[in-house]
Amino acid sequence: MVLAQLGGSISRALAQMSNATVIDEKVLNDCLNEISRALLQADVQFKMVRDMQANIKRIVNLEALAAGTNKRRIMQQAVFTELCNMLDPGKPSFTPKKGKPSVVMFVGLQGSGKTTTCTKYAYYHQRKGFKPALVCADTFRAGAFDQLKQNATKAKIPFYGSYMESDPVKIAVEGVERFKKENCDLIIVDTSGRHKQEAALFEEMRQVSEATKPDLVIFVMDSSIGQAAFDQAQAFKQSVSVGAVIITKMDGHAKGGGALSAVAATKSPVIFIGTGEHIDEFEVFDVKPFVSRLLGMGDWSGFMDKIHEVVPTDQQPELLQKLSEGSFTLRLMYEQFQNILKMGPIGQVFSMLPGFSAELMPKGHEKESQAKIKRYMTMMDSMTEAELDSTNPKLMTESRIIRIARGSGRPVRDVMDMLEEYKRLAKIWGKMKGLKIPKKGEMSALSRNMNVQHMSKVLPPQMLKQIGGMGGLQSLMKQMGSKEMSGMFGGMGGER
Ligand SMILES: Nc1nc2c(ncn2[C@@H]2O[C@H](COP(=O)(O)OP(=O)(O)OP(=O)(O)O)[C@@H](O)[C@H]2O)c(=O)[nH]1
């Protein structure tokens, strides 16, 4: 996704500034211009970029800074904070509660991915123990009901709609009433997609909203919409009280900066992002980890959450214990592969590790990756217990490799490939040795238990350089206790 390029450009601008011997007005302006250019290229609205630039200049008042203050660090923090502010409207959106009936209405442009997102949203909550239901109030697009029905059936979610009835308000009201009676606690109403110019359709949307009195209206926006995002989002906000935004197709080549504009236009937070066509390609959106990732700092808390989501509860303590001991064995890899195959794409998990991309499971190649994982597991089935439990790759002698290849009916090349993959993963996961891994909901404990050594291992080298090497990191860590500084590392130490 092109947002990654934005992150890259911003990081480069900061690095360039860090390399300057003296930081004066000119260096600061060059850096800010570079960052502004990157944001504009990513389709962030001009006014927002200008405001951000002005805000940073106000915070980073070079002359007002006392002598000896670390100007670079202040600059980095200012960029991080400003990006977070852009994405954070300052008020959380309504969140449905289990057992208490809520109505959530989806609105958005035609083809934005609204219908798909309704099901993803329902499925996400179903997995969290909700009893969701879907109502198709899209009487405009032929086939919309069929699409919703198909998606809902696949996910085993009750649905309501009609081929005959043409009044969306009537369908919406009937559906909501029916599911309230059936004790569903999350009733999702999908409405027709429309264009900004279609006044009549906007009126219809307003009527559906008035009749169903939703607790939350979610605006679904395609991330590729570009500079038009602000106007479109604002048009929806003027008709119905949009309370949250979901950005779809973040897996594509969209520049993604429109997300920032949509937040500004609706004054509502982005709550989820769609990262593919499949039902589980849907991620909770958190500002600080997102900006951390954007700036190449990794998303530590997202990674921890994924572990909690992907790894079965009874295996979690053992896995976390082993990771903290730094003993990543082939058996551990085998068990994780089992979980991956059970739970779906773990590419997401790995992409959250600082400095680690989804090499094992690149987007769009999930099927091939799954086949590869299955192949790896077949080969591991031909290994001895001692081999599986060892962390010593020297055990794998040539004769053992040939034996494993023969035993599993695979070429020697494949066994070598699998062992390389193991080494690569062991290296990455080994970095967690000694790191106290917090339980879910205890993210702040991580910041208390982190030390400079761990952080320096986990951070990408360019990031470490940017913050002034070990010395810079040390002074940063001292300040990690303060809320602002944990924001600097959002995803890694911040409370979610
Ligand atoms: N790659 C990718 N495709 C997506 C994502 N979300 C939705 N899509 C695809 O986008 C297309 C349009 O999605 P729909 O859900 O039909 O769009 P809609 O907004 O309901 O369309 P209308 O009913 O016409 O308003 C479909 O092909 C979806 O599979 C996503 O996050 N990533």
Task: Quickly name the fold that domain 2-87 has.
Answer: Four Helix Bundle (Hemerythrin (Met), subunit A) (1.20.120)
Closest CA to 223 of 137, 144, 290: 290
Outline which parts of the chain fall under CATH 1.20.120.140. 2-87
Amino acid at 46: F
pLDDT of 446: 38
Indicate if the pLDDT at residue 494 is higher than 60: no
- Nearest atom in ligand 1 to 112's CA: 19
Single out the residue of 184, 102, 169 nearest to residue 138, CA to CA.
169
Q: CB neighbours (10 Å) of residue 438?
A: 17
Structure-model confidence comparison of residues 387 and 142, the more confident one: 387
Mutate to test the pocket of ligand 1, among 136, 272, 273, 277 (most ligand atoms within 8 A of CB): 277
The span from the CA of 207 to the CA of 168, in Å, is 9
CA of 342 to the centre of ligand 1 (A): 25
Q: Within 6 Å (CB) of ligand 1, which residues are found? A: 108, 110-116, 138, 141, 144, 147, 193, 248-249, 251-252, 274-277
H-type alpha helices, 135-198: 144-154, 168-181
Locate the ligand 1 atom nearest the alpha carbon of residue 138 and give its number: 23
Instruction: Give me the chain's average pLDDT, please.
Output: 75
**Long-range contacts at 291-294 (CB < 8 A, ≥ 24 apart):** 291/80, 291/83, 291/84, 291/87, 291/490, 292/489, 292/490, 292/491, 292/492, 293/7, 293/352, 293/491, 294/3, 294/4, 294/6, 294/7, 294/10, 294/83
Instruction: Specify the residue with its C-alpha closest to ligand 1, atom 4.
Output: 277
Closest C-alpha among 186, 200, 432 to residue 300: 432
Structure confidence at residue 458 as a pLDDT band (50, 70, 90)? low
Q: What percent of the chain has pLDDT over 90?
A: 25
CATH of 322-433, one of 1.20.140.10, 1.10.260.30, 3.40.50.300, 1.10.10.410: 1.10.260.30
Ordered alpha helix ranges (H), 188-299: 199-212, 229-239, 258-266, 287-294
What pLDDT is recorded for position 298?
46
Protein residue with least CA distance to atom 29, ligand 1: 277
CA separation for the pair 213, 172 (Å, rounded) = 10
Number of residues that make up the chain? 496
Ligand 1 atom at minimal distance to the Cα of residue 275: 31
Sign of torsion over alpha carbons 305, 309, 313, 316 = negative
Residue 295, pLDDT > 80, answer no
Q: How open is the CA angle 93-88-198, to the nearest 5 degrees?
A: 65
Q: Boundaries of CATH 1.10.260.30 in the chain?
A: 322-433
The backbone torsions φ and ψ at residue 165, rounded to the nearest 5 degrees and listed phi first, read -70, 130
Q: Is 442 helix (H, G, I), strand (E, B) or coil?
A: coil
pLDDT-based confidence at residue 366 (cuts at 50, 70, 90): low
Q: Grade residue 444 by pLDDT with cuts at 50, 70 and 90.
A: very low
- In terms of CATH, what superfamily is 102-297? P-loop containing nucleotide triphosphate hydrolases (3.40.50.300)
Tell how far the Cα of 10 is from the centroid of ligand 1, in angstroms.
Answer: 30
Nearest to 223 by CA among 184, 187, 250, 201: 250
- Give the contacts of 426 (CB within 8 A, at least 6 positions apart): 328, 333, 391
Given a contact cutoff of 8 angstroms between Cβ atoms, the answer to whether 266 and 258 are in contact is no
Cα 33 to averaged position of ligand 1 atoms, centre (Å): 36
pLDDT of residue 172: 95
CB 334 within 8 Å of CB 419: no
Q: Are 128 and 120 in contact (CB under 8 A)?
A: no
CB 23 within 8 A of CB 474: no
Kindly tell me if the per-residue pLDDT of 10 is higher than 50: yes
Pairing label, strands 102-108, 159-160: unpaired
Helix, strand, or coil (residue 109): coil
pLDDT band at 442 (very low <50, low <70, confident <90, very high): very low
The pLDDT of residue 452: 54
Give the residue, out of 1, 116, 140, 198, with the most ligand 1 atoms within 8 A of its beta carbon, to mutate for a pocket test.
Answer: 116
What is the pLDDT at residue 141? Answer: 75
From the CA of 117, how far away is ligand 1's center (Å)?
7
CB atoms within 10 A of CB 99: 10
| pLDDT at 127 exceeding the cut of 70 | yes
Structure tokens at 254: 């969209």
Q: What is the pLDDT of residue 314?
A: 63
Q: Is the pLDDT reported for residue 83 higher than 60? A: yes
In the chain, which segments carry CATH 3.40.50.300?
102-297
Helix 144-154, helix 114-127: angle, nearest 10: 20
Name the β-bridge partners of 189: 105, 135
Closest Cα to atom 10 of ligand 1: 113
Residue pair 48/264 in contact (Cβ under 8 Å)? The answer is yes
Nearest residue to 195 (alpha-carbon basis) of 228, 217, 173: 228
Predicted local confidence at residue 309, as pLDDT: 58
Whether 390 has a pLDDT exceeding 80, the answer reads yes
pLDDT at 307 over 70: no
Query: pLDDT at position 121, please?
Result: 96
- The Cβ-side half-sphere exposure at 333, using a 13 Å CA radius, reads 31
Ligand 1 nearest atom to the CA of residue 120, by list position: 6
User: At residue 344, does pLDDT exceed 60?
Assistant: no
Kindly give the number of the ligand 1 atom that is closest to the alpha carbon of 118: 15
DSSP code, position 87:
H
In the structure, what pLDDT confidence band is assigned to residue 139 with cuts at 50, 70 and 90? Answer: confident
Distance 455 CA to ligand 1 centre (A): 40
Nearest partner of 447 among 488, 477, 469, judged by Cα: 477
Ligand 1 atom closest to 144 (CA)? 23
Chain Cα centroid distance, residue 189: 25
